[in-house]
Chains A and B, each alone.
Chain A
Amino acid sequence: MSFTTIIDGLSLGAIYALIALGYTMVYGIAKMLNFAHGDIIMVGAYAIYSTLLLLDLPVLAIAVAVVVCIALGVVVEKLAYRPLRGASPLAVLITAIGVSYFLQSVAQLIFGAKSLPVSVMEPNTIHLGDFMTISVSTIITLAVGSAIMVGLTVFIKKSRIGRAMIAVSEDRSAAQLMGVNVNLIITLTFAIGSALAAVASLFYLMQIPSTSPTLGSMPGIKAFTAAVIGGIGSVPGAMLGGILLGLVEKICLSIEVIAPYTTAIEFSLLVLILMVRPTGILGKQIKEKV
């Protein structure tokens, strides 16, 4: 296990954490599992691909991806999830799965099932000393990812909207009585989650430079796992879970004997953690009341 592995793991963890934040914020505030979140990453990746096809400007591409993803997240929330507010969580979950299928099949109809190459940036590496090689994209991912996470934490703790979000997640009806516009807060949560997914899609493309309609499903499921490991609904939990999962994945992949079983190990980690702490590492233990 070298230093490079750990840096790679941290950077992958940052990607998972960004996606997991979207899951966890939506869960905390709208009390629903947004299974379509992984597919928003996929849409972001296709947005980057299309923009780069027209104009070779990576900065413009990421801006377009963020705008497209935010618009998509808000529209999905309005059309598919809002009518079901107050319905059973299972119904909402199944609708979210429907949305996920819908996005995947639309992408396949437009772009085809084959994976398309996307080169966001040239692969450069930096040599530190004799034994370490770190790619530039890893450093960018780690730096920007951490900056976003710190920014988001400050935003939620300090800003008016952030505190409104905490209020809604703690008690929706009490927040409404205090004058918080719950619908607006939920829409904003979806917008922030989708924007983070767009950024995650850029980082993902920096690591694996190709996009396909099912690009979002595996990182989506893994990030969801990360969110649950950290305790779904908890923002620091999502970051912790994401980084933990990224590290475990890269470390497992670097050891030859257990490398094929990486997926099994990651998901077993989830099961083990949930058996010890049923609501994740930082999740709140909810007492049953009669």
Chain B
Amino acid sequence: MKKTKLKELYKLKTYSNYILLAAALIVFTVLELSGGLRRSHAHLMAVIGFSVILAVSLNLVVGFLGELSLGHAGFMCVGAYIGGLLAKQLTASMGNQTLALIISMIAGGLAAALFGFIVGLPALRLKGDYLAIVTLAFGEIVRNLFKNLPWFGGAMGLSTESYGTKLFIIAFIVAIIMIALMQNLIHSKHGRAITAIRDNEIAARAMGINVTFYKLFVFVFAAFFAGIAGVIYSAYATPVLYSYFSFNYSIEILVMVVLGGMGSITGSILAAALISVLNFVLQSNLSGDLAALKYLVYALILMFVVIFGNAPALKPIRDKLNLHNLKVKIFALFRKKQDPDVVLSDSAGWDAIPTKIPMDSVLSTDVVPSESSTLSPDPRKEDSTDGK
């Protein structure tokens, strides 16, 4: 009984992401084909598509593996330049633009994955903040290289083939494929290994998990899809400019992940869509120096969300307003008997931001009571007196 209920809930939650994206895809495809979609809105949909791919793939690194990456735009940059260049050549020789785009998406993804492997190598020796700075450095190195290497158009940018308004269909299909892969990964043995590394690396290692393999795997996986997002970007915007993939853009992707909730795929999808729409609205309404308001809004949202969600002093308020608790309560209303065992496992809230458990303090608290036992009289003495 209980098992089937859990299974149903799990299924509903897994499918909700597909339903969400597929519904958006179908509605907007119909709109586009019937000519009811404005050009600017079709472009916005493409932006939402590649933002979702970027945010969800970064979430695998930050939310599930628990390593901060500040260079996600760097992988996207690799994909955009290499895929963009290839798509241009292939379209010229083959004539079929869709096929050219698909081939160059795979090539761009693989190129980015190679870079992901290279970044992942030092990541195996480094921890936390040091790894974050290496990913940041990587982003800057890639940008600097593509700006100066002779084949990519230099400071003027790489001119690419523009795919037109139907690009968002491809972007959404890729997003759905990626989310299917990721959800199956996370709910598998390998996904549990990845979250185990996040929660406590040493313990995970002790349990026989191959930390080296999983860390590299996650970096390569995330980089591959960031590269594909880059190729989609190159089909959306021409010319592809190195300045687009700056540190700020990496942060923007990180904001999507943080806003959506680390370790929540649905959250990342919604946040990516929200921020893309917000960007679009603000960009078309704010001009000149007022454009800074966009970043002001970002900054305030970011600080508010993080401080509210993490400040130790605000924990009582947080528990009161917890959306997750609310959801459980609402579900309980529809159920005959309250089932406390039903916990939606991967909807990691703010409390579940990856923290390495300070093992020292955990162990030292356990040690304390044993001191009093040495002060108590030796039981053997009592035994011996009784014997007399």
Contact = CB atoms under 8 A, between A and B. Distances in A.
Given A87-B310, A109-B292, A217-B247, A101 B148 contact: no
A213 B292 contact: yes
A274 interface: yes
B144 interface: yes
B112 interface: no
A27 B39 CA distance: 49
A289 B359 contact: yes
B306 A98 contact: yes
A90 B296 CA distance: 21
Nearest to A286: B127
B44 interface: no
Nearest to A213: B292
B312 interface: yes
Contacts of A80: 303, 307
B137 A270 contact: yes
A264 B306 contact: no
Interface stretch (A62-70, A134-142, A220-228): A220-228
**Which of B121, B128, B206, B311 counts the most chain A CB atoms within 10 A?**
B311
A279 interface: yes
A213 B206 CA distance: 49
A102 B303 contact: yes
B134 A278 contact: no
B102 interface: no
B211 to A, nearest CB: 12
B302 A278 contact: no
Contacts of A88: 310, 353-355
Contact of A83 (B68, B298, B313, B353): B313
Contact of B138 (A93, A112, A224, A271): A271
- The majority secondary structure among interface residues of chain B is helix
B293 interface: yes
B141 interface: yes
A261 interface: yes
A232 B292 CA distance: 32
Interface in A84-136: 84-91, 93-95, 97-102, 104-106, 108-109, 112-113
B66 to A, nearest CB: 8
Given A93-B68, A95-B306, A101-B298, A86 B312 contact: yes
Interface string A144-156: 0000000000000
A275 B122 CA distance: 6
Nearest to B147: A260
A109 B289 contact: yes
Contact of A101 (B143, B291, B299): B299
B258 interface: yes
Interface string B121-144: 110011111101110111011011
Contacts of A225: 133, 137
Contacts of B348: none
Interface residues of A, number: 51
B302 A271 contact: no
Nearest to A87: B310
- The majority secondary structure among interface residues of chain A is helix
A174 to B, nearest CB: 13
A105 B148 contact: no
A33 interface: yes
A108 B290 CA distance: 8
A87 B296 contact: no
Contacts of B129: 27, 33, 89, 93, 232
A222 to B, nearest CB: 9
Contact of B302 (A84, A85, A101): A101
Contacts of B62: 90
Nearest to B363: A290
B251 A97 contact: yes
A277 to B, nearest CB: 10
Contacts of B294: 105
B202 interface: yes
Given A105-B299, A260-B148, A278 B353 contact: no
B309 interface: yes
Contacts of B298: 98, 101
A268 to B, nearest CB: 6
Contacts of B145: 261, 264
A220 to B, nearest CB: 10
B382 interface: no
B244 interface: no
Contacts of A89: 128-129
A256 interface: no
A29 to B, nearest CB: 15
**Which of A100, A213, A264, A275 counts the most chain B CB atoms within 10 A?**
A264
B132 A113 contact: no
B292 A84 contact: no
B170 to A, nearest CB: 32
A181 interface: no
A216 B258 CA distance: 24
Interface in A224-263: 224-225, 228, 232, 260-263
A174 B51 CA distance: 46
**Which of A99, A113, A261, A271 counts the most chain B CB atoms within 10 A?**
A271
B343 to A, nearest CB: 22
B241 interface: no
A275 B312 CA distance: 35
Interface of A: 27, 33, 80, 83-91, 93-95, 97-102, 104-106, 108-109, 112-113, 213, 217, 221, 224-225, 228, 232, 260-264, 267-268, 270-271, 274-275, 278-279, 288-290
Given A90-B354, A102-B299, 16 more contacts: A83-B307, A84-B307, A87-B311, A88-B353, A102-B300, A108-B295, A109-B289, A109-B293, A217-B247, A221-B140, A260-B147, A268-B141, A271-B137, A275-B122, A278-B126, A279-B130
26 contacts: A27-B129, A83-B307, A83-B313, A88-B355, A91-B309, A93-B68, A93-B132, A94-B306, A98-B303, A98-B306, A101-B251, A101-B295, A105-B292, A106-B296, A108-B289, A109-B289, A221-B247, A225-B133, A228-B130, A261-B144, A264-B140, A264-B141, A268-B141, A274-B122, A275-B122, A289-B360
